[in-house]
Structure 1
Amino acid sequence: MKELKMIFSLLVVLLMFSGCDGDEDDLQLESMVVPTNIQIDTDISTDGSGIVVFDVSADNAITYKFNFGDETTGTSLDGTYTKRYSRNGLNTYQVLVVAYGKGGISSSKRIEISVESDFSDPETKEFLTGGSSKMWYVAAFQPGHLGVGPSSGDGFDSPIYYSAAPFEKAGAEASACFYTDVLTFSTTGENNFTYNLNNNGATFFNVDYVGQFGGPTGSGDQCIAYDTGGEKTVTLSPATSGIESSTGTVMDFSDGGFMSYYIGTSTYEILDIDENSMYVRAIMGNNPALAWYLKFTTTPYDQQQESGNGGEEEAEFETQFNNLVWSDEFDGDSLDTDSWNFETGNGTNGWGNNELQYYLQDNVTVQDGSLFITAKRESESGFDFTSGRITTQDKYEFTYGRVEARIKLPEGVGTWPAFWMLGANFDGVGWPETGEIDILEWVGKEPGRIQSALHFPGNSGGNAVVGPSTIENPSSEFHTYTAEWTEDAITFLLDGEVYFTFDNDSDKPFNKDFFLILNVAMGGNLGGDVDPAFSESAMEIDYVKVYQ
């Protein structure tokens, strides 16, 4: 992509020269100085990694282009470039370096290098190309088909900052050039093959790059009529990130190639791949602290739309639990304190989440067959908001079953209602060791999205395992939120439809008694800023039931 922009800029400059005459033309020509004295230094690895570090300098040069002799190219402003050659064995390459000066005037120098590489990944190549040629598409039907997280540190192997819900971009401008992209991989050699992106003449750009390609700034990610398609060369090489869940293989695309979503990089680490699905990770070009995640499938977008699940036949979910063992349908005129506890106050540091509310018993009411937990803008004990929170701790605790609630969510940016569970040994071991199962989380600033989450050691707080889903009319209509919890899995459903499944096992803290929690928080780490116009709003619960 950078090369395309550079070539475009050079053409513009040359056209300007051709349109000038007289003294002005002479002045322009005086500024066009040919780069000279090209010096090329190389540091060639001897450990079989195939890595070569180029260090190039030239008088009067402002940028450099490399043709590495293996059907790949690269550009550098300062003349330094780290290249990994992946052709097996000891191979000789003719490397061409072009130094560009002002006005696009260039000179070049060629060198010969010999590089040894012992890397090979025929299985990944077979999955990508099918042995000859294979087409891939954005897996719009899958949660997290687009996501972002930290590039290093805790949670650097998962999209913990943002994870797109299934078909989240559908109906938006992005769906015209993101979901409909066709990515074709075709075999040509042992570790090298070709890649063609067909995006119908339009590209889905990350918000940081929108302005550079003629799009409106300040409007988020944009689909722009800028054709970045065409054939590129792809090289497979070993990954160096150290991510345990990775396949250990990286794809490098030539000539600014990228995979559907432009983030200024041409290098993608393959986290998972099989015959019909692929999960990749890439470090953002202008922000190395961010890693973006993309999921792909061999099912075209129109077939994903038709079935809603990637073209696969989806069996109707069958529960393992049909015996109703506990319920509250809120038929009285007050909360049943034999089953529920009122929690009050603001906890420690806003219940650990910088929440803005002070919980009061008065904000929890029962009437007309429903439970109401109301958040209000009012001063209490130094806080600007009040709300309610109730639990079944020490009164009703259980292991495994189907947990279900029918709920109408509050309204207003800044509200953060939840239906969730904590381990019964919470007081003894603390959090996150006790484990947390969030059956429903929702925030008023994203009314069309809900999520479920699992918190446990190594995956807690911002690094929780999250499963999102889209939702319509969450505040004006009742919806049923369900978790089916077994020793092998925790499955989350919205109105009876599965949207997220978490693999449970004996090493995780989800194999003991848990208790139920209902609350409406305000602001905090997930709720964000509260709308200045917010006055009050309630979460209405029709029932809570447990089946075993």
Structure 2
Amino acid sequence: MRFIYKILSITLIIISMISCQDDDNTLDQILVPQNLEVSLDITDDGSGNVTFTANAENAITYRFAFPDGSVVVAPNGVYQKRFTKTGLNTYQVTVLAYGKGGVTSSKLVEVTVQSDFSDPEAIELLTGGSSKTWYWAADVPNHLGVGPNNDDLSQNYFWAYFSFTDPFALNANPASSCAYDDEFIFSTTNGENLTYEQDNKGASFFNRSYASVAGGASPDDSCYEFTTAGEMGVSLAPSESVVAADRKRGTVMTLGDTGYVGYYIGTNEYEIISLTANRMVLRAVQGNDQGLAWYVILTATKPAEGSGPVAEEDTFPNLLWSDEFDSNGAPDVSKWTYDIGNGQVGWGNNEVQYYTDRSENVIVENGVLKITARRENYMGQEFTSARLKTEGLQEFTFGRVEVRAKLPQGVGTWPAIWMLGADYQTNPWPGAGEIDIMEHVGRNQNEVLSTLHYPGNSGANGITESTTVSDVATIFHTYSVEWTETQIRFFVDDKLFHLFENDLTKPFDKDFFMILNVAMGGTLGGNVADSFTESSMEVDYVRVYQRN
């Protein structure tokens, strides 16, 4: 036995010399892991999950190399892998046990598992069927932001803590300007496999807590010279995140072993919140802080600074609902209902009118709907008017809305054509979302506004644009909105003046209903002129179209 031990010692010393180990390495530092065993726990629920448990004598960590190109290091030898190729498939997995000094032993393991998960549409959208390059959507607000990762469903799907709201915001600081040079390339050869490559042009934008990965020590987020790992395999899996199912696609990407998307936060796992042919919103939990989730917006069209987002082209050939106001008298009760009274705190805006359903305030005459605001003492208010809505009668998700209208005039008038999220009673404003197709105030005659209100951007902080329209009180104009999963576009007489980038992190992905009203005074309308007596908004038609 002593003789064998001496031979082993001499052999290990020779190995140590060949491997250029330090002279003072001890024998236990270079002991090769022995008796590597790998056990498998294969699920039978169609999820494709397999739990690998590796164990070897003298091992200090383990590495799993999967056939999709992903590689995972598991110091405790336990790792759960989700195999996503649809059907019953057999895979070969290489398991390596690492000992001190870098010596290894390996084992090839064969696993057969059923997977019912697939997302071929995601692969098609990511790659265009072959290869597609993505870029930072630097021209849109909130293209990088952070929020909580917890069980608060009202906050864990968007950048509730902080976001870069200005286009090309990272260019304002040389320490972060390298970010927009990134190119993110997704490829497939057969519509089933998926690979990823990041071309960072030699530098990447790092979260400050990971500066040391690139050899840096900045107290702030910064760009560092860094070499990306080249092409790597991508696996897709069903999402198990805290984000509510109706606010995410339901697919998670794992980018090889060391892949990341633009901003380095120590993770290679990115959840697809929303995905179209030209826009992608990703969510990733920071590697060293599970309470933080970062959001990145990408585009397949490289933006140029100062150019702004590009309006997508959609067609809406199908008439879903309309009112042509062809029958004189009260509005059609199968299409419209009313808000009555002065609401709470003047409908939340300190408005000074009392809404009624009287013919003095709302009537259909000569092919138009007339909503008339009048100066009169009624139910404790100085003015009356009307507010019609389709709540409970016609609610819809996505489409094109057209309203041909002539607006009232007079300082203090505040007509509006707008939509409110149908779940507002259980998801209070601004959580339910609000889409203002047209607002006008008499003190700014001929200036038309469109605004979106949602968490983080509501009230005075709503996302708004304005345009000048001549003769709004004397000529009928067509006010319209095109609302899709990716954009909300506002028009007057078919001229685009406001473009908003939509995605599943915002509450504009569910049913809304229409509202037509003329308010008086309030936070936007301002003081009512003493000379005002009455004025009407006349509506020729309301039409809602949808895509095929």
TM (normalized to structure 2)? 0.57
Structure 1 residue 468, shift from structure 2 partner: 8.7
Q: Which residue of 1 aligns with 2:20?
A: 18
Q: Which residue of 2 aligns with 1:305?
A: 305
Amino acid at match of 2:280: M
Task: Report if the CA contact (8 A) 2:253-2:272 is conserved.
Answer: yes
Structure 1 residue 173, shift from structure 2 partner: 3.0
Residue 130 (str. 1) matches residue 128 (str. 2) = yes
> 2:62 and 2:112 mapped to 1: Cα distance?
21
Greater mean alpha carbon deviation, residues 54-63 or residues 41-50: 54-63
Structure 1 residue 47, shift from structure 2 partner: 1.3
> 2:48 and 2:520 mapped to 1: Cα distance?
53
Aligned pairs for 1:357-376 within 5 A:
none
Sort the Cα spacing of 1:28 and 1:202 in 2 relative to 1 into closer, same or farther, 3 A: farther
> 2:67 and 2:127 mapped to 1: Cα distance?
23
> 1:465 and 1:113 mapped to 2: Cα distance?
56
The equivalent position to 2:111 in structure 1, one of 110, 113, 122, is 113
Aligned pairs for 1:112-511 within 5 A:
112-152=110-150, 153-154=152-153, 155-165=155-165, 166-173=167-174, 176-219=177-220, 221-241=221-241, 242-301=244-303, 304-305=304-305, 307-309=307-309, 432=428, 454=453, 459=455, 498=498, 500=500, 507=512
Structure 1 residue 517, shift from structure 2 partner: 4.5
Sort the Cα spacing of 1:42 and 1:432 in 2 relative to 1 into closer, same or farther, 3 A: same
> 2:208 and 2:459 mapped to 1: Cα distance?
26
Task: Report if the CA contact (8 A) 1:191-1:235 is conserved.
Answer: no
Task: Report if the CA contact (8 A) 1:203-1:223 is conserved.
Answer: yes
The equivalent position to 1:66 in structure 2, one of 51, 55, 64, is 64
Which SS does the other structure have where 1:252 is aligned? strand
Amino acid at match of 2:219: G
Which SS does the other structure have where 2:202 is aligned? coil
> 2:187 and 2:434 mapped to 1: Cα distance?
44
Q: Which residue of 2 aligns with 1:39?
A: 37
Q: Which residue of 1 aligns with 2:50?
A: 52
Q: Deviations over 1:508-545 (max 9, x none)?
A: 79876597459xxxxxxxxxxxxxxxxxxxxxxxxxxx
Q: Percent identity?
A: 40
Gaps of 5+ in 1: 1-13, 314-342, 344-393, 403-428, 440-451, 470-479, 519-546
Gaps of 5+ in 2: 1-15, 314-344, 346-380, 389-406, 409-424, 437-450, 469-478, 491-495, 503-507, 525-535, 538-548
Sort the Cα spacing of 1:431 and 1:140 in 2 relative to 1 into closer, same or farther, 3 A: closer
Structure 1 residue 431, shift from structure 2 partner: 11
The equivalent position to 2:83 in structure 1, one of 85, 109, 113, is 85
> 2:306 and 2:71 mapped to 1: Cα distance?
40
Which SS does the other structure have where 1:308 is aligned? coil
Greater mean alpha carbon deviation, residues 502-511 or residues 25-34: 502-511
> 1:465 and 1:278 mapped to 2: Cα distance?
28
Which SS does the other structure have where 1:200 is aligned? coil
Q: Deviations over 1:328-384 (max 9, x none)?
A: xxxxxxxxxxxxxxx9xxxxxxxxxxxxxxxxxxxxxxxxxxxxxxxxxxxxxxxxx
Task: Report if the CA contact (8 A) 1:178-1:203 is conserved.
Answer: yes
Structure 1 residue 68, shift from structure 2 partner: 2.1
> 1:130 and 1:237 mapped to 2: Cα distance?
20
Amino acid at match of 1:201: G
Q: Which residue of 1 aligns with 2:95?
A: 97
Which SS does the other structure have where 1:265 is aligned? coil
Amino acid at match of 2:197: N
> 2:280 and 2:141 mapped to 1: Cα distance?
13
Sort the Cα spacing of 1:223 and 1:499 in 2 relative to 1 into closer, same or farther, 3 A: farther
Structure 1 residue 232, shift from structure 2 partner: 0.8
Task: Report if the CA contact (8 A) 1:284-1:292 is conserved.
Answer: yes
Which SS does the other structure have where 2:266 is aligned? coil
Report which of the two structures shows the higher radius of gyration computed on alpha carbons.
Answer: 2
Which SS does the other structure have where 2:147 is aligned? strand
Task: Report if the CA contact (8 A) 1:198-1:229 is conserved.
Answer: no
Which SS does the other structure have where 1:236 is aligned? strand
> 1:430 and 1:93 mapped to 2: Cα distance?
48
Amino acid at match of 2:103: I
Amino acid at match of 1:239: S
Task: Report if the CA contact (8 A) 2:68-2:234 is conserved.
Answer: no
Task: Report if the CA contact (8 A) 1:62-1:102 is conserved.
Answer: yes
> 2:195 and 2:119 mapped to 1: Cα distance?
16
Sort the Cα spacing of 1:104 and 1:396 in 2 relative to 1 into closer, same or farther, 3 A: farther
Q: Which residue of 2 aligns with 1:367?
A: none
Sort the Cα spacing of 1:464 and 1:98 in 2 relative to 1 into closer, same or farther, 3 A: farther
Structure 1 residue 69, shift from structure 2 partner: 2.9
Structure 1 residue 136, shift from structure 2 partner: 0.8
Sort the Cα spacing of 1:491 and 1:116 in 2 relative to 1 into closer, same or farther, 3 A: closer
Structure 1 residue 501, shift from structure 2 partner: 7.3
Sort the Cα spacing of 1:504 and 1:204 in 2 relative to 1 into closer, same or farther, 3 A: closer
> 1:397 and 1:104 mapped to 2: Cα distance?
83
Task: Report if the CA contact (8 A) 1:199-1:229 is conserved.
Answer: no
Sort the Cα spacing of 1:309 and 1:35 in 2 relative to 1 into closer, same or farther, 3 A: same
Which SS does the other structure have where 1:173 is aligned? coil
> 1:211 and 1:50 mapped to 2: Cα distance?
36
Amino acid at match of 1:49: S
Structure 1 residue 169, shift from structure 2 partner: 0.7
In the comparison of the two structures, how many residue pairs are matched? 371
> 1:126 and 1:467 mapped to 2: Cα distance?
37
> 2:219 and 2:270 mapped to 1: Cα distance?
27
> 2:434 and 2:112 mapped to 1: Cα distance?
56
Structure 1 residue 177, shift from structure 2 partner: 2.8
Which SS does the other structure have where 2:121 is aligned? helix
Structure 1 residue 189, shift from structure 2 partner: 4.0
Sort the Cα spacing of 1:97 and 1:209 in 2 relative to 1 into closer, same or farther, 3 A: same
> 2:142 and 2:231 mapped to 1: Cα distance?
27
Structure 1 residue 50, shift from structure 2 partner: 0.7
> 1:256 and 1:276 mapped to 2: Cα distance?
25
Structure 1 residue 150, shift from structure 2 partner: 1.7
Sort the Cα spacing of 1:62 and 1:395 in 2 relative to 1 into closer, same or farther, 3 A: farther
> 1:434 and 1:397 mapped to 2: Cα distance?
26
Structure 1 residue 211, shift from structure 2 partner: 3.0
Sort the Cα spacing of 1:395 and 1:67 in 2 relative to 1 into closer, same or farther, 3 A: farther
Sort the Cα spacing of 1:265 and 1:27 in 2 relative to 1 into closer, same or farther, 3 A: closer
Q: Deviations over 1:266-303 (max 9, x none)?
A: 121212212211111122211222221111111124xx
Sort the Cα spacing of 1:160 and 1:509 in 2 relative to 1 into closer, same or farther, 3 A: farther
Task: Report if the CA contact (8 A) 2:64-2:73 is conserved.
Answer: yes
Which SS does the other structure have where 1:55 is aligned? strand
Sort the Cα spacing of 1:454 and 1:463 in 2 relative to 1 into closer, same or farther, 3 A: closer
> 2:512 and 2:134 mapped to 1: Cα distance?
36
> 2:430 and 2:164 mapped to 1: Cα distance?
28
> 2:58 and 2:139 mapped to 1: Cα distance?
52
Sort the Cα spacing of 1:397 and 1:88 in 2 relative to 1 into closer, same or farther, 3 A: farther
Amino acid at match of 2:54: V
